[in-house]
Amino acid sequence: MSGWRPAPVTVQVPATSANLGPGFDSLGLALGLWDEVTVQVGTAVAGVSIEVEGEGTEVAERGERHLIVKVLRQTLEAIDGLASTRMAGQVQGIGLRCVNRIPHSRGLGSSSAAIVAGILAARHLHPHGHLLDDEGALRLATAIEGHPDNVAPCLAGGLTVAWTTPGGPRLVRLESQVKQVVAFVPDQRLATERARGLLPETVPHGDAAANAGRAALLIAALSQGLASDVLLDATEDRLHQDYRAPAMPESAELVARLRANGAPAVISGAGPTVLAFTTAAQVDSMGLKVGNGWHEYPLDVAPHGARIQSGDVGAAR
C-alpha cells in the first residue's frame, strides 16, 4: 500500500504518578520506569499477534480488545479524519510486542502509558501522522483515558499541570528540582474505577480551600527545590486519600508512617502505590520496616516523555 511505512516502530513510555497529594486530577510526574512497545502493521495478512514480556502477560490473548490495539486503530482513524483519507481500514494485521516494566493497576499510569504508546505509534506509522500535533495527541489521549493528569506527564515528561477547557485539555510542563523519588509498590492491585467510586460527590469548602493552597505550594516546592519540611506541608491532602483509605489500609498506614518520619509521602494516583519525595538512602536512614508484600523502587524523575526509539521521528513529533 503506497505511503505506509512497513518497518516496525518502537515507542518508549514512562510510568507516571498523578495527584501527588493535593493536586487531584491536575498534577502529574513522569518517572524513570519505562515500557517499550513495538508495533508493526500489515495490509496483506489479517489478525493480531501480541507478545508480552513482564507485566500484563494475562492480557496478551485479547487481540483486538487489547488496549494498545484499540488505541492504535482509533488513532489511525482520527488521522484519516484529519487527512480526508481512508487508510486505517486497510490495516488488516497488527503485530505488537510489549516489554512492560510499569506495574499494572497500582497507580503508576500503566493504562496512560499504553494509550500514549498506541497514539505515538499510529502517528509515526500513518503517512499523514504529522497532522496529529501534540495538542491533538493530548486531546485524544485524554478522551480515551478520561482525564489528563497521567497522560500529560507521559507525553511531556517532568512535572506537569493539566487542566481542561471548552476547547480541550491543556498542559504546562515544569522542571522539577526534586530529581529522585521512591515508589513503594504492593503486590495487590486496585482498579482505578473502584478507587474513584469511593469519592464523595461533594466535599467541605474548607477542605477544598486547603487543597488549593497546598497544590499551589507543592508546585512551588517541586519547581524551586524548597526545603523538605515545606514539601511535607505541601503534600497534605483532604480531597481523596482519606476517602480511599478503606480500599488500601496498608498504603494509608505506610503514608502515615513515612510522614511521621518527615518524608513527604502520598498515594500515587488512585493507589495503592505509595510515592515518597525522598531517596532510598534517606528511607534506609529512618530504619523504617516496610514489611513483606512491598517492592521498593528508587526512581528518577523522567526528564522527557514518551518518544520514538526507532525510525526517523523524535519525541512528540
112 is in an annotated binding site: yes
107 is in an annotated binding site: yes
- Inform me whether the pLDDT recorded for 317 exceeds 50: no
- pLDDT at 220 (0 to 100): 97
211: its cell numbers: 487543597
162 is in an annotated binding site: no
Q: What is the mean pLDDT of residues 150-175?
A: 97
Q: Please report which confidence band the pLDDT of residue 60 belongs to, taking 50, 70 and 90 as the band edges.
A: confident
pLDDT in tens, 239-265: 999 999 999 999 999 999 999 999 999
Q: What is the mean pLDDT of residues 55-66?
A: 90
- Inform me whether the pLDDT recorded for 206 exceeds 90: yes
pLDDT in tens, 98-138: 999 999 999 999 999 999 999 999 999 999 999 999 999 99
- Ranges of each domain in the chain: 9-164+302-308, 180-300
CA distances from 315 to 121, 134, 140, 188, 207 (A): 11, 10, 17, 33, 39
Which of 4-8, 133-137, 158-162, 253-257 is predicted with the least confidence, judged by mean pLDDT? 4-8
109 is in an annotated binding site: yes
Q: Which fold has domain 180-300?
A: Alpha-Beta Plaits (3.30.70)
268 is in an annotated binding site: no
pLDDT in tens, 272-299: 999 999 999 998 888 888 877 899 999 9
- pLDDT at 316 (0 to 100): 35
What does pLDDT average to over the chain?
92
Percent of the chain whose pLDDT exceeds 90: 80
Nearest residue to 27 (alpha-carbon basis) of 185, 150, 121, 181: 150
C-alpha–C-alpha distance, residues 192 and 186, integer Å: 15
113 is in an annotated binding site: yes
Radius of gyration of the chain (CA): 20
Q: What is the mean pLDDT of residues 161-182?
A: 96
- pLDDT at 291 (0 to 100): 77
Q: What is the mean pLDDT of residues 158-163?
A: 98
Q: What is the DSSP string of 28-75?
A: EEEEEEEEEEEEEEESSS-EEEEEEEETTGGGTT-GGGSHHHHHHHHH
DSSP 103: P
Which of 19-28, 60-69, 136-145 is predicted with the least confidence, judged by mean pLDDT? 60-69
108 is in an annotated binding site: yes
- pLDDT at 315 (0 to 100): 34
- pLDDT at 311 (0 to 100): 46
110 is in an annotated binding site: yes
104 is in an annotated binding site: yes
106 is in an annotated binding site: yes
CATH number of 9-164+302-308: 3.30.230.10
